[in-house]
Structure 1
Amino acid sequence: MGAAMRRIQVGSALSAFGVGFTVPFLYVYVAQVRDLGASTAGIVLAAFAMAALIVLPVTGRVIDRRGPLPVLMGAALTAAVGALALGFSDSEPTAIVSAALLGAGTAVMQPALATMIVWCSTPATRTRAFAMQFFLQNLGLGIGGLFGGQIVDEHDPGSFITLFSIEAVMFLVLAAIVVTVRLPHAPSIQDAVPTDGAAPKSGLRALLRHKAMVQLCVLGFVLFFACYGQFESGLSAYGVEAAGISASTLGIALAANTAVIVVAQFAVLKFVERRKRSRVIAAVGLIWAVAWLAAGYAGLGHGSQAMATAAFISTYALFGLGEAMLSPTVAPLVADLAPAGMVGQYNSAFALVKQLALAVGPAVGGPMGAALHGPYIVTFLLFSLGITVLAVRLGRRLTPLQDQPYAAKSRVVAQGAPEPVPANS
């Protein structure tokens, strides 16, 4: 990695480290520590998610017109203010407003960071760059959660002020690091406008006409809905109600997921980058189908409690293996599909799809996982197999360079782009 890429990766990891201090405890903090109740905690979490859905549709165009650096700086400062304010919030209105600021800031960071990684990489190095980011972010989240667990005290609101203050400082550290980054491309408004003489009135229209990107967004929604959208809602409810899993075992399962990601990320990287991206995503669908079968055995089988516990933990571990395969696959594919001057808009559109899936996933999976155990497993088993089908169909729309850039000896040209994408875009 060059100096610019190293700084981006370090800043990204440190911000994830800060987020890890507060994410596991947000519900407990609002509902119990501040004694605002479960309904208020639900509203606060909804405000966090809704703020992301509001800002992401406009984020991409701003990134493409003004560059990712000022957008990332503004997002980091906004998130820092939101985190610090949330730590001192002792009423419902202040908690909701603070959570909205925090949610908006953290949501905008992701496409801004992704665009910076794209600008500082080439199609040949992009796979490893995104794999490194995913690895460091998960490592940062895990370590932050571990440290946060040692500091937190449910009977002491001051301990939560410390947690949110650390998170705010990490966002400021991210801003301080990335401001020193010298990007290899200076954006201009003209860069965001296609030059084929038939420019659409908006970037959204251009994106919606790009069938491969639309298919990738549909696939992305199913990916996040069937996996990430179930981790802390449907799957955990299913584990407790159907498989008799304890709260401590849920923590072990999540730790197993993170451990597999950390251990497997670079072990699978050579395997992944030498194969077609569509085939890798299709394989992830099959792996997750096996994960849901293991979950089905845990809750619906007639084995011992020890076997059910082992099967349930295996479910999370298999999800982690799939995530390790996706991280160097999906994000670089979004970048390689983007025409020149629209990388930010494509990254933001995909981030929006992810947020929608994370919002809908718990709403659908939570009640099913708690009460409809058999239908829950069957539904998400079918969704996982659907991932495989959608990935195979997507592969038919990708150029050989988009589907397998490792084998390319020349730069990737985005499908539908009017001219070759510059190496630094």
Structure 2
Amino acid sequence: MGAAMRRIQAGSALSAFGLGFTVPYLYVYVAQVRDLGAGTAGVVLAVFAMAALLVLPFSGRAVDRRGPVPVLLVASLLAALGALGMGVASSVPAAVGSAALLGAGTAVMQPALATMIVWCSTQATRTRSFAMQFFLQNLGLGIGGLIGGQLVDASRPDSFLLLFSIEAAMFLVLAGIVLTVRMPQSPAFQGARPAAGKGGALRVLLGHKAMVQLCVLGFVLFFACYGQFESGLAAYGTEAAGIAPSTLGIALAANTAVIVAAQFLVLKFVERRKRTRVIAAVGLIWTVAWLFAGYAGLGHGSQAMATAAFVSTYALFGLGEAMLSPTVAPLVADLAPESMVGTYNSAFALVKQLALAVGPAVGGPMGASLHGPYIITFVLFSLGITVLAVRLGKRLTPVQNQPSLAARPSKIVARHEPAKETATA
């Protein structure tokens, strides 16, 4: 990695480290520590998600017009203010307002960071750059959550103030690191505007069939995995499989451990194969994961076997995530026109956020009460990932689908132009 990329990765990891301090404890903090009630805690979490949905449609255009650095600086400052505000919030309006700032700021960080990685990488290095970001972010989240768990004390509100202060400091460190990054020259820095023509950038994006298919695929991916981690799958595990709440922490730890251990082991495998085939394989792996979950809750084995099967579900999800991280994000970048990289990254981030909002709303009630239908539904969604990935392959050029085929960047990828619809799989 060059100096710019090293600094971007360091800032990304430190911001994830800060988030790890508070994200697992936000509900407990609002509902119990500040004694604002479970209803208020639910509203705070909803505002956190809704703020992201509101700002992401505009953040991509801002990145393309102003560049990712100033957008990321503003997002970092907003997130830091939100974290500090949450640390001292003792009323409903203060908690809701702080959640809005924190949710908006952290949401905009991701497409801005992704655009910086795109501009500081080449087609040959992009896959590894995104894999490294995913690895470091998960490591940061895990370490932050582990340290935060040792510092937090529900009987002492000042311990939560310490956690939120550390989170705010990490966001400010990210802003400081970003200020030192010397970005390469790009048309976006020279006043370029998306060559959207009549109808604007949205029309260009919606007219790009490969990108639309990738967004649909992305929604199913996030809905069937991330959207179930802390809602439907957790409810199913405790209600159907009799999993102890403490075992949920073990399962999440297994997920993170597999990601950290497998990320670079699977990287060479991923780099030598078509991206859509890798995604299709993830769909099959997650199908097996949901079958393991089905056995845990609906089988007739011992409690120990049910627990092992449930933890294995999270571990298999982690293997799929490790395969996706160097695959999906670089593909979004390779599909984007040079002057619309931020727009494409923000659109995909918006799809992810929608899936994370809808996933718990659908999966939570099903996982708690409709155990058989819940497993069947997500087995079918996982198989749908495989089908959608195979169909997407027919919209991509050979180099977009497998960058290792190119001895040098093709004109299409180098200029980030949407592929023609006559491309072969």
TM-score by length of 2: 0.96
Answer yes or no: is the 8 Å Cα contact 1:9–1:136 preserved in 2: yes
Which stretch shifts more, 200-209 or 376-385? 200-209
2:333 equivalent among 332, 335, 338? 335
Deviations 1:1-44 (A, max 9, x none): 00000000000000000000000000000000001011100000
RMSD: 1.4
| Residue equivalent to 2:272 | 274
| Deviation per residue, 1:243-280 (Å, 9 max, x gap) | 00001100000000000000000000000011000000
Q: Is the 8 A contact 1:61 1:192 kept in 2?
A: no
Could you say which residue in structure 1 is the equivalent of 2:349?
Answer: 351
Question: Are the counterparts in 1 of residues 64 and 194 from structure 2 also a CA contact under 8 Å?
Answer: no
- Is the contact made by 1:210 and 1:416 (CA closer than 8 Å) also made in structure 2? no
Alpha carbons of structure 1 residues 133 and 2: separation in structure 2 relative to 1, 3 Å: same
The residue aligned with 2:286 is: 288
- State how many pairs are aligned: 417
3-state DSSP class of the match of 1:417?
Answer: coil
SS at match of 1:192: coil
Instruction: In structure 2, give the amino acid aligned to 1:228.
Output: Y
Q: Distance in 1 between matches of 2:84 and 2:70?
A: 21
Match of 2:81 in 1: 81
Equivalent residue letter for 1:136: L
Is the Cα–Cα contact under 8 Å of residues 277 and 389 in structure 2 kept in the other structure? Answer: yes
Aligned mate of 2:258, from 257, 260, 267: 260
8 Å Cα contact 1:335/1:346 also seen in 2 = yes
Counterpart code for 1:129: S
Q: 2:221 aligns with which of 213, 223, 243?
A: 223
| Mapping 1:290-309, distance limit 5 Å | 290-309=288-307
| Match runs of 1:18-417 below 5 Å | 18-186=18-186, 187-188=188-189, 190-194=191-195, 199-412=197-410, 413-414=412-413, 417=417
CA distance in 1, matches of 2:115, 2:127: 14
Question: How far, CA to CA, are the matches of 1:304 and 1:418 in structure 2?
Answer: 53
Which secondary structure does the structure 2 equivalent of 1:155 belong to? coil
Structure 1 stretches (4+) deviating beyond 4 angstroms? none
CA distance in 2, matches of 1:392, 1:191: 35
Distance 2:402 2:169 in 1: 40
Aligned partner of residue 90 in structure 1, secondary structure = coil
Which sections of structure 1, spanning at least 5 residues, go unmatched?
420-425
Q: CA deviation at 1:242?
A: 0.2
Asked whether the equivalents of residues 17 and 143 of structure 2 are also in contact (C-alpha less than 8 Å), the reply is yes
How far apart are residue 193 of structure 1 and its match?
A: 2.6
8 A Cα contact 2:333 2:416, kept in partner: no
Question: Kindly tell me: are residues 137 and 416 of structure 1, through their superposed partners in 2, closer, same or farther at Cα, counting changes over 3 Å?
Answer: closer
2:238, 2:281 → 1: CA distance? 29
Structure 2 distance, partners of 1:36, 1:193, is 46
Amino acid at match of 1:75: A
The whole-number CA distance in structure 2 between the counterparts of 1:3 and 1:244 is 50
Could you tell me how far apart the structure 1 residues matched to 2:94 and 2:160 are? 16
Give 3-state SS (helix, strand or coil) of 1:398's partner: coil
Query: Does the residue aligned with 1:381 lie in a helix, a strand or coil?
Result: helix
SS at match of 1:271: helix
What residue number does 2:423 align with? none
Could you tell me whether the CA contact under 8 Å between 2:289 and 2:313 is conserved in 1?
yes
Q: C-alpha deviations, 1:210-232, integer Å up to 9, x for none?
A: 00000000000000000000000
Letter in 2 for 1:285: G
Code of the residue aligned with 1:37 in structure 2: it is G
Letter in 2 for 1:311: A
Identity of aligned residues (%): 79
Say if 1:64 and 1:189, in contact at 8 Å, map to a contact too: no
d(CA) in 2 for partners of 1:78, 1:365: 31
2:334·2:416 contact (CA, 8 Å) conserved in 1?
no
Q: CA deviation at 1:199?
A: 1.9
Q: What's the secondary structure of 2:112's corresponding residue?
A: helix
- CA gap of 1:190–1:179, structure 2 versus 1, over 3 A, is closer
Distance 1:416 1:124 in 2: 14
Structure 2: 5+ residue stretches without partners: 420-425
**Structure-1 separation of matches of 2:84 and 2:398:** 48
**2:192 maps to amino acid:** D
Q: Note if contact 1:66-1:189 (Cα within 8 Å) is conserved in structure 2.
A: no
8 Å contact kept, 1:253–1:313: yes
Equivalent residues of 1:191, 1:340 under 8 A apart:
no
Distance 1:58 1:272 in 2: 33
Aligned residue type for 1:404: Q
Shift of 1:316: 0.1
Change (3 A) 1:406 1:416: closer
Equivalence for 1:422: none
d(CA) in 2 for partners of 1:359 and 1:409? 41
Note if contact 2:121-2:129 (Cα within 8 Å) is conserved in structure 1: yes
Distance 1:399 1:200 in 2: 26
> Structure 1 counterpart of 2:181, which letter?
V
| Partners of 1:155 and 1:367 in 2: CA distance | 31
- The amino acid across from 2:154 in the alignment is E
Q: Which amino acid aligns with 1:331?
A: A
CA shift for structure 1 position 189: 6.7
Amino acid of the residue matched to residue 173 of structure 2? V
- Which one-letter code corresponds to 1:110 in the other structure? Q
Q: CA deviation at 1:188?
A: 4.0
* Residues 333-371 of structure 1: CA deviation (Å, up to 9, x unaligned): 000000120000000000000000000000000000000
Letter of the 1:169 counterpart: A
Deviation at residue 417 of structure 1 after TM alignment = 2.4
Paired letter, 1:211? K
In 1: Cα distance, 2:300 partner to 2:121 partner: 51
